[in-house]
Amino acid sequence: MRQRKEYRIKQSGHRYGVPFFDLMVNGLKHRLVATTREAAEPEAKARYKVITAARAAAPSPYRRIVPSPSSLQTAFTAYLASDTFKLYKRLTQTQRRSQINQVLNTKVQSGQRTFGESALSDWLHGPEAPDVVRYIMGTRGTKAAQANHLRKAIDQFFIWLLGEEPQAAEARLMFNVGKNATNPCLHVGKAKPKRGADGRMRRGYTPFTAEQVDDWLHASKDDHEQNRVVRLLLMTGARLSDLILLNRLMIKQTDVGRILTYTCTKGRGSAFRQADSIAVIPIVPELDALISEMPADRLVFIHSAHDRPYSCTEGLGNRIREWRRDCGLPEGLSAHSMRKASTHWWLRNHRDLLANNFSLKTIFGWVTDKELERYTADFDRAQEARGMLIKLAVRHKAGHG
C-alpha cells in the first residue's frame, strides 16, 4: 500500500521567467531553492525532515486543557457545534476557531491556569469580567486589529449564549445560567490604533498619494499590461478578489449610457447580511478609453503573464507588488491601498457626477456610511471646495443660458 506523504510541493509562480516552488506542510509555505520539480523533490524531502524534527523538539505553545462541565472551554465547545456558528463561511469558521483557541489558552495573571479552565459563571456574573476581556485584548500588544478580533469572538459567543435560539436555551440550562447573566463585552470598547512616529493615529492600509499614482503610471507607460492594471485599480477601486473577475459581460447598456456592474466578492452569500453588495460604475470617458484598449478577444480584462485570467488573488497581488517595487515606490503600499486613491480620483475628476454620498457608495459597493467616511476622511478639503465652485459655475451658466 502506497504511503501517504505528509507534505506537497507547489509551484507558486514565476520570477523573471524562472519558476519557484514551495514546500507545503500543514498549510504553511516554505520556499525552496530548486527551480525544477525534479530538483525540488529531494530538497523538499530533506526540508520536511528538518521541519518535523524542529517541531517535535519545540515545546507546545498550548498545554492541553482538561475542561470541567461548567468551564468556559465546555461552553465554547457547545457554541462551535451550534447552527449559528455553522452559518459562517468556512474561512470565517477557521479564523473564529483560532481566535477562540487563543482566548482559551491565554494564561491568567497568576500563570497557574488558563482562561479556558475558568468557570463560565465568573464571566457571566463576575464584576471583573469586563476587565478580563480587556486583559485578553491587551495580550495582542500594539496590534489593535488582532485585539478587536479576540473581543468579537468573545462577544459573538455570549450574544449566542444569551440569545433566543433553542440551542442557546439548552446550553443555558446545561450550564445553569441565571437570569441576571450579562455579556462581559457589553461595556468593553474596541482597541484603538496606536500612534505612529509622527504622533498621528494610523488606520488601515497606507494609501497612495496622487503623486505616487502619477509616478507609477509614468513609469509603466511602456508596459501596457501593467499600466492598464494600475488604471483599472484607480478607476474602479475594486478589491483584488473582484478585479480578477471584471469582464465584458459586466458592462450593461442603459438608456443614457453604459455601466460596469458586479457583485462584490467580500460578504457574498453571507447569512449575516441582508443582501449582497453590488457596485455600479458609470463608464466615464477615461474608463471607456481603457476598456477600448483591451485586446478585443479578451473576455476577462486582466490576464497573467501566461495570457490567461488569474485563478486567485495571490498571483495578481504578487505581480502588483513586483511592479510597485520596480517603480521605486515605498514599501507598505499595496493593491488595496489604491482603493482610497480611487475614491479621491472620482472626487477630483468627476465631482459633478457625485450628487450625494450614495453616489460614491454605488460606485464602490459600500453599504454603510462608515466605509464612506473611512475612505474620504483625508481627502484634500481645498480640492473639495474647488469641486463645489465648479458645480456652482455650471449652475450659474445654466441659469443665464
Alpha carbon 322 to its chain centroid, in Å, reads 20
Please report, in tens digits, the pLDDT of each residue of the chain (401 residues total).
Answer: 444 567 788 887 776 677 888 888 877 788 888 888 888 889 888 888 888 888 777 655 555 555 677 899 999 999 999 999 998 888 888 899 999 999 999 988 877 788 988 899 889 988 899 999 999 999 988 888 889 999 999 999 999 999 999 999 999 999 888 888 999 999 899 988 766 666 666 556 678 888 999 999 999 999 999 999 999 999 999 999 999 999 999 999 999 999 999 999 887 777 667 778 899 999 999 999 999 999 989 999 999 988 899 988 889 999 999 999 999 998 888 888 898 889 889 988 888 888 888 888 899 988 888 777 777 776 656 655 666 666 666 666 766 55
What are the residue ranges spanned by the domains of the chain?
A: 8-57, 72-174, 210-400
Q: What is the spatial distance between Cα 12 and Cα 28, in angstroms, rounded to a whole number?
A: 13
Share of the chain above pLDDT 90, in %: 41
Radius of gyration of the chain (CA): 26
Region of 258 on the Ramachandran plot (φ > 0 left; ψ -120 to 50 alpha; else beta)? beta
> Which residues are paired to 253 by β-bridges?
258
Is domain 210-400 classified as CATH 2.60.40.420? no
Q: Is residue 365 within 8 Å of residue 237, measured between CB atoms? A: no
Distance CA 217, CA 240 (A): 19
User: CA nearest 165: which of 78, 94, 91?
Assistant: 78
* Set of cell numbers at residue 260: 460596469
Cα–Cα distance measured from residue 186 to residue 384, given in angstroms and rounded to the nearest whole number: 39
Query: What digits encode the pLDDT tens for the residues 278-294?
Result: 999 999 999 999 999 99
> Could you tell me the end-to-end alpha-carbon distance of the chain, in angstroms, rounded to an integer?
88
